[in-house]
Amino acid sequence: MAGQRVEVDGGIMEGGGQILRVSTALSCVLGLPLRVQKIRAGRSTPGLRPQHLSGLEMIRDLCDGQLEGAEIGSTEIMFTPEKIKGGIHTADTKTAGSVCLLMQVSMPCVLFAASASELRLKGGTNAEMAPQIDYTTMVFKPIVEKFGFKFNCDIKMRGYYPKGGGEVIVRMSPVKQLNPINLTDRGSVTKIYGRAFVAGVLPFKVAKDMAAAAVRCIRKEIRDLYVNIQPVQEPKDQAFGNGNGIIIIAETSTGCLFAGSSLGKRGVNADKVGIEAAEMLLANLRHGGAVDEYLQDQLIIFMALACGVSRIKTGPVTLHTQTAIHFAEQLAKAKFSVKKSEDEEDASKDTYIIECRGIGMTNPYL
């Protein structure tokens, strides 16, 4: 099975952990031996961080592969995948490294495994620079399941910066093939809802203030919809450490989902956190796309592997998405095109159609 090793430059484009996630996931699924160089070359702390390392080790374990050069700070790894088995696997970042990013790298692999998988992912559930777990369950999950699979995501413990300590259990069964998706019809916004949470020592008032400020901000622009943001005190036995944050979702008549979210930091007042999330949501609603900017890049790898033509309508194409497309084309040989949307109502907006002819990956073990 092992052919020529594919060489990946981890320093180009987005130049961070995402290149590692996309390329190792594709390497595992396609059975391509891989070498990634210049890992996170441009970052303030270059090379592998704990969350990247734990993701790589989990992928290695999933497929009984070989991994060389995998240590903290390493800027080059070699990965030789074998048969993807499924079963129970644990990845622990031992930091606030995001469990959602661990899920991103492992999900394509377990879809093409020989049997069902249970992934025990430990780290930060609501961490900076990554999707919050609520985004994963409320937005990513219902949309990605349109590719024709289901997964179960059980939040055992929430964990926050800087300690982490969260745990999420993901269970899923393999598929024979993925269906293509078409997310081009945006529809009209029918509801807006969310949750504003506090955990640990933070007073409940902080959650109420975040929610109220977010509602006020949305009301200025969208007057005719009830905005339902629940303030939540995370139960002591389900949250490790202290944290606060908010996620707000807008749902449309055609089932599209958009989000805005924000996390509290020491010294930032609650209103500001709520307003930041509301403004992010409103910005995602203005561009006329059918997916928000965070879902955009997460769908690329599935589009590349699916059987048939997938199309998504998006706002401005992010660097993360361009990066995912580049490596999906290089490794999987999928064909993508990105064109400005030609619909009349999009003429004044920055709206694009990302189209992909997927490779129709078939699970060899089913």
Q: What is the pLDDT of residue 349?
A: 87
Which residues neighbour 86 within 8 Å (Cβ) at sequence distance 6 or greater? 62, 110, 113, 114, 115, 116, 117, 174
Which residue type, as a one-letter code, is found at position 359?
I
Q: State the catalytic residue, choosing from 52, 89, 287, 320.
A: 320
Is 104 marked as binding a ligand? yes
Instruction: Give the pLDDT confidence of 220-238 residue by residue, as tens digits.
Output: 999 999 999 999 999 999 9
Average pLDDT over residues 31-38: 98
Is 230 marked as binding a ligand? no
Which helix (H) or strand (E) is 143 found in, with range? helix 141-144
Question: Which is it for strands 309-314 and 352-357: parallel, antiparallel or unpaired?
Answer: antiparallel
Is 4 marked as binding a ligand? no
Residue 218: pLDDT band (50, 70, 90) is very high
The DSSP line for 230-283 is: EEEE--GGGEES-EEEEEEEEEETTS-EEEEEEE--TT--HHHHHHHHHHHHHH
pLDDT at 353 over 80: yes
Is 233 marked as binding a ligand? no
pLDDT at 278 over 50: yes
89 is catalytic: no
Q: What is the pLDDT of residue 345?
A: 83
Q: Tokens standing for 117?
A: 């998988």
Q: How many CB atoms lie within 10 A of CB 129?
A: 12
Is 48 marked as binding a ligand? no
Cis peptide before 162 (omega within 30 of 0): yes
The whole-angstrom separation of Cα 279 and Cα 149 is 32
Question: Which is it for strands 151-159 and 239-240: parallel, antiparallel or unpaired?
Answer: parallel
Which residues neighbour 24 within 8 Å (Cβ) at sequence distance 6 or greater? 34, 36, 55, 56, 59, 79, 105
71 Rama sector, left if φ>0, alpha if ψ -120 to 50, beta otherwise:
beta
Per-residue DSSP letter, 290: S
Q: What is the pLDDT of residue 3?
A: 66
Average pLDDT over residues 74-84: 98
Residue 348: pLDDT band (50, 70, 90) is confident
Is 202 marked as binding a ligand? no
Instruction: Give the pLDDT confidence of 96-107 residue by residue, as tens digits.
Output: 999 999 999 999
Domains of the chain with bracketed CATH: 6-183+291-359 (3.65.10.20), 189-287 (3.30.360.20)
The whole-angstrom separation of Cα 290 and Cα 221 is 19
Residue 1: pLDDT band (50, 70, 90) is very low
